[in-house]
Structure 1
């Protein structure tokens, strides 16, 4: 009898723990979405509540601090600070400012194009943001766009959104892509390849997204740059600049060849950051480190990743997915309606799992979703890309959050662009994505 009582208590405790987890995760997401509190305070409150209520072991709650994404963010801040400190940001901006400062549309379009081109050779979202942000902002200041102005905010968001959203069309250039690829290989022995991926996603997620992003930026963030007719005459490269260029080239080379040597981009970036901070060898002092690293954003990133881990480990993600699947209005044959419904499912999952966690949860369910919708298995797997590359709120995409931190972008401005892009993407790009899938025989 005692055994039965203990077993019943265990079930009740498990149920209570599950619903407490749902409550804490829900409140955390609402606070991030509404920006009622600074994002890092919300993250700290999440850590506190999860540990006090014993929702999960510390290894799960604080898993964000052990994640490679956290350390890539931190190292990105350090590299960005070093680029600014030695003057390389100003020097590179001096080369870009003449062709790009002639008009605001050219400056915005050029920045978005730079984010996409760099994605072909540099696999890390965070690394690309850390490299581009100081250069683009310095270019803006050179053209008379003051820090903190609407124009400066627009340029920072062009770097963040261009880096994350457009790179989803390139297989190794985006963390959620790699999660999806690994999950597909693990669950179904599907080996996704670079060229078919790019051909399928480049027209809509690459080119279409880029054009829509440029249009939204020009509409929401207006500025009038002062056209620069001639580059400044700068002195020759200093010894510090040469050394930092060498370090960045080695770092970039290791990032580009990670598939050959197996060193994750995060640890390569962390090693480069450590070199930047070494006395006499590096470029930054202790004060430079304190001032150059946005610890608020780092804590926020750790909180996002901790929430995603808790959702998966607690079974909340699977519960939500199954609940949604039971009410989805899916027809038993392929149609645009089914395509839109499946995209909506991934978008809803994005609220609790964020972009990095969505493919890990949805991909193992792809077989059931394929049977219910009539689409081939590969189609269900691949349509996730458009959905997780189209977040409704900034917190759903950690690279966007990092870019907002590096560019000192107010939460309201990031939310405004994110929601606008989401709306126009659903209305304009989602039907085009379906038509392209059909044209290539995926639907």
Structure 2
């Protein structure tokens, strides 16, 4: 039985946010922190509860931010200029083409050959595919965009409704497995790349691919195993398909071959970004431009009007606005300073200090979202190292575990995008995030600390 309705939660959050904004306006120029906090609280509450359509909440955020005038327009609309926005736009186009050409059904047929008519094996195959894709593609957004239609087609191959519990379970498995366990791979996620790069730039502390994987693997192995176990038991539905169908055995259609070539070149570009320096978003845009061109036959001329939904990227841009306005007002720094003064830090470098740094990192990552959290956390690494007795690199690794532990789905933009393009209910990702966060906090962190002692890292 639901004790509090999402509408009630949304109403409380919006009312409280409006109160903070009003108080900030009364204070005048010194009230920017309060108006930013009010805008953030109201916006995140609306996004979390989906009390109104996400695009409505997004437009409201833009309007309120413009009306308040607490940040320049280039800050308010910075989301539209970010690579993430265009990566989502391009990804929606590519994902639509993967489904429209029948390529998703073909890939799902290959996966079915491995899993057979078993939901448990299907879950494990999908989770493993998502994890392995993290090795190939150094950006979560493209992986999510590829995996969502593949998982939906896989559900159909098993005779499950993609919008039913069985289909939702496979899609949620694909999304979470290609995001959270891949934090053990240095190149797999933007927050990891930013964190390691910022540590090297600020303190000269570098991490190699293999070194980072060795230090992070215990907690991420736990994440993968828990995702597999939880999602295997997600539904009691029994697959009704017991073999390959004609779609799986049919020859490649020309448009499928063309799309495979485009995706192959794009994946090669994403894999080698360390060589050419081209951002994943621009590679995705080039691929999307080819795919959307009717001349190549992958999508028809009406696709942009009838198939492409632009509400997810607008939603993403609004989330960036909330974070950007908060950072412009200095809210992240004020809150970080307030939190760090109250942390139970011990110079002994023991597990309690690890927990303190981890908890601080989890809180900051939820105030800023995962991609932006390193910009706030890295400047505190030196003071945290001095206060805890942990090395700078150990502090950075603990911070990374905190960043990679979303309690609420909005902290990780790939989960937000997945909810938008897959229509998986918020509650599914929230429950998964909570279970994973509990597992990391109660088991993963002590296990990782013990492993670090074994290898001499702490």
Normalized against structure 1, the TM-score is what? 0.93
Q: Provide the C-alpha distance between the structure 2 equivalents of 1:148 and 1:186, rounded to a whole number of angstroms.
A: 46
Alignment of 1:21 onto 2:36: yes
The whole-number CA distance in structure 2 between the counterparts of 1:202 and 1:303 is: 34
Instruction: Report if the CA contact (8 A) 2:32-2:70 is conserved.
Output: yes
Distance 2:121 2:79 in 1: 38
Question: Aligned equivalents of 1:437 and 1:406: distance in 2?
Answer: 39
Contact 1:102 1:227 in 2 (8 A): yes
Equivalent in the alignment of 2:165: 150
Q: 1:317 to 1:289 in 2, by over 3 A?
A: same
The equivalent residue for 2:71 is 56
2:240 paired residue number: 226
Q: Which runs of 5+ in 1 are unaligned?
A: 1-11
Asked whether the 8 Å contact 1:304–1:354 carries over to 2, the reply is no
More contact order relative to length (CA 8 Å, sep ≥ 6)? 1
Q: Distance in 1 between matches of 2:435 and 2:218?
A: 20
Structure 2: 5+ residue stretches without partners: 1-26
Task: Please tell me whether the aligned partners of residues 70 and 302 of structure 1 are also in contact (alpha carbons under 8 angstroms).
Answer: yes
Q: Equivalents in 2 of 1:248, 1:107: separation in Å?
A: 24
Does residue 109 of structure 2 align to residue 98 of structure 1?
no
Quick check: 2:117–2:158 contact (8 Å CA) kept in 1?
A: no
Q: Which residue of 2 aligns with 1:7?
A: none
The one of 186, 201, 219 aligned to 1:171? 186
Give distance in 2, aligned partners of 1:34 and 1:406. 17
Q: Give the conservation status (yes or no) of the 8 Å contact 2:111–2:125.
A: no
The Cα shift of 1:81 comes to 0.8
Residue 319 of structure 2 is matched in structure 1 by 304
Q: 1:33 to 1:433 in 2, by over 3 A?
A: farther
CA distance in 1: counterparts of 2:89 and 2:207, whole angstroms: 30
Within the alignment, does 1:188 sit opposite 2:200 as a pair?
no
- CA offset at residue 216 of structure 1? 2.1
Equivalent-residue separation in structure 1 for 2:86 and 2:435 (angstroms) = 31
| 3-state SS of 1:164 partner | coil
Matched, 1:287 2:305: no
Residues 289-368 of structure 1: pairs in structure 2 closer than 5 A = 289-368=304-383
Which residue does 2:223 correspond to in 1? 209
Q: Provide the secondary structure at the position in 2 that maps to 1:99.
A: helix
- Cα deviations by residue, 1:63-112 (Å, 9 ceiling, x for unpaired): 11111111111111111111111111111111211321332211111111
Q: Aligned residue for 1:392?
A: 407
Give deviations 1:325-368, integer Å, cap 9, x for gaps: 11111122211111111111111112220010111110111001
Residue 8 of structure 1: aligned partner: none
Change (3 A) 1:440 1:290: farther
Tell me if the contact between 1:61 and 1:309 (Cα under 8 Å) persists in the aligned partners: yes
Instruction: Name the CA shift for 1:69/1:229 in 2 (closer, same or farther; >3 Å).
Output: same
The whole-number CA distance in structure 1 between the counterparts of 2:230 and 2:29 is: 46
For the 8 Å contact 1:29–1:352, the answer to whether it is kept is no
Q: 2:14 corresponds to which residue? A: none
Q: Distance in 2 between matches of 1:377 and 1:159?
A: 34
Deviation at 1:290, TM superposition (A): 3.8
- The count of residues paired between Structure 1 and Structure 2 equals 432
> Which residue does the alignment assign to 1:425?
440
Q: Give 1:231 deviation, angstroms.
A: 5.1
* TM-score between both structures, scaled by the size of structure 2: 0.90
Q: CA deviation at 1:156?
A: 1.1
Would the aligned equivalents of 1:167 and 1:173 in 2 still touch at CA under 8 Å?
yes
1:291 is displaced (CA, Å) by: 4.1
Give the alignment of 1:263-282 within 5 angstroms.
263-282=278-297
1:1-80 pair list within 5 angstroms: 13-80=28-95
CA distance in structure 2 between the aligned counterparts of 1:171 and 1:225, rounded to whole angstroms: 37
Query: What's 2:176 paired with?
Result: 161
Aligned counterpart, 2:424:
409
CA distance, structure 1, for counterparts of residue 359 and residue 214 of structure 2: 23
1:247 aligned to 262, 265, 270, which one? 262
